[in-house]
Amino acid sequence: KQEVTQIPAALSVPEGENLVLNCSFTDSAIYNLQWFRQDPGKGLTSLLLIQSSQREQTSGRLNASLDKSSGRSTLYIAASQPGDSATYLCAVRPSWYSGGGADGLTFGKGTHLIIQP
Amino acid sequence: EPEVTQTPSHQVTQMGQEVILRCVPISNHLYFYWYRQILGQKVEFLVSFYNNEISEKSEIFDDQFSVERPDGSNFTLKIRSTKLEDSAMYFCASGGTEVAEAFFGQGTRLTVV
């Protein structure tokens, strides 16, 4: 059974710092990996999607990498801002996904990030 | 920008009552999902729905749960007889392509009293 772990569980840093959030998964047979942002009491906003054949994806100040063989992904946030404060979730889709939409995502518990002004 | 819409945002119900949570997925998407998040815990997969039938369901999705796409736009989750432990945030998601990116709604907070 796939297990997704995110480290650290919480992180508080001053504004302007670059930071790295870590995600590991036990079964390397994944179709893709998705990073989300969740604000308190709110829904999940998709940040980045990495297919299993890709090594990284970038969007603005965010960069996500994937090392499928070792079961790890990192989310790099450059020049952090107070508006980046949120919980960041990592989720994986199993490799036997056939394009038929059948397969659910397995989530980590998230990293709660606070950026101090 | 297209988005997944869920109603209501918050629902309080008495134990044993039936509830229906509603979702309007992104219009050209074909795959629909329900997830839940109990306070302080992980987001958990409940069920996926494609081509008017359930594709996959987790062990959480027992006989008390059902899903329906009653028309071309809505997707619903019904809980027949709610229990205290059903209290959670319920998220609807949809996806449209082989890229398989999931887009989530803002959630319905269900409180069973």
Give the pLDDT confidence of A54-95 residue by residue, as tens digits.
999 999 999 999 999 999 999 999 999 999 999 999 999 887
- pLDDT value of position B2: 78
Structural contact between residues A6 and A92, judged by C-beta atoms closer than 8 angstroms? no
Model confidence at A98: pLDDT above 60: no
3-state secondary structure of B85: helix
| Dihedral-angle region of residue B94 (phi above 0 means left; psi in -120 to 50 means alpha; beta otherwise) | beta
3-state secondary structure of B78: strand
Q: How confident is the model at residue A97 (pLDDT cuts 50, 70, 90)?
A: low
Structural contact between residues A67 and A92, judged by C-beta atoms closer than 8 angstroms? no
Residue partners of A112: CB distance under 8 A and separation at least 6: A9, A10, A11, A87
Model confidence at B97: pLDDT above 90: no
User: Could you say which of B41, B44, B104 has the minimum Cβ distance to residue A43?
Assistant: B104
Helices (H), B46-105: none
Model confidence at A100: pLDDT above 50: no
Model confidence at B89: pLDDT above 60: yes
- pLDDT value of position B60: 94
Q: How far apart are CA A56 and CA A79, in angstroms?
A: 19
User: Which structure tokens are listed for A71?
Assistant: 């079961």
Q: Which position has the token pair 């309080």?
A: B12
Mean pLDDT of B8-22: 97
Q: How confident is the model at residue B52 (pLDDT cuts 50, 70, 90)?
A: confident
Instruction: Average the pLDDT over each of A16-20, A40-44, A71-75, B7-11 and give the range with the smallest value.
Output: A40-44
> In chain A, what percentage of residues exceed pLDDT 90?
77
Structural contact between residues B20 and B108, judged by C-beta atoms closer than 8 angstroms? no
Peptide bond into B25 cis (omega under 30): no
Query: Distance from B76 to chain A by nearest Cα, in Å?
Result: 17
Model confidence at A43: pLDDT above 60: yes
3-state secondary structure of B25: coil
Peptide bond into A117 cis (omega under 30): no
Model confidence at A103: pLDDT above 80: no
Q: How confident is the model at residue A102 (pLDDT cuts 50, 70, 90)?
A: low
- pLDDT value of position A84: 97
User: Could you say which of B45, B50, B104 has the minimum Cβ distance to residue A104?
Assistant: B45
- pLDDT value of position B38: 95
Round the average pLDDT of chain A to a whole number and report it.
Answer: 91
Query: Distance from A18 to chain B by nearest Cα, in Å?
Result: 26
Structural contact between residues A82 and A117, judged by C-beta atoms closer than 8 angstroms? yes
Contacts with A, B 83-102, CB within 8 Å = 89, 91, 93, 95, 98-102
* pLDDT, tens digit (0-9, with 9 covering 90-100), for B21-46: 999 999 888 889 999 999 989 999 99
Do the bridges between strand A10-14 and strand A111-116 make them parallel or antiparallel, or are there none, so unpaired?
parallel
Any bridge partners for residue A56, and if so which? A65
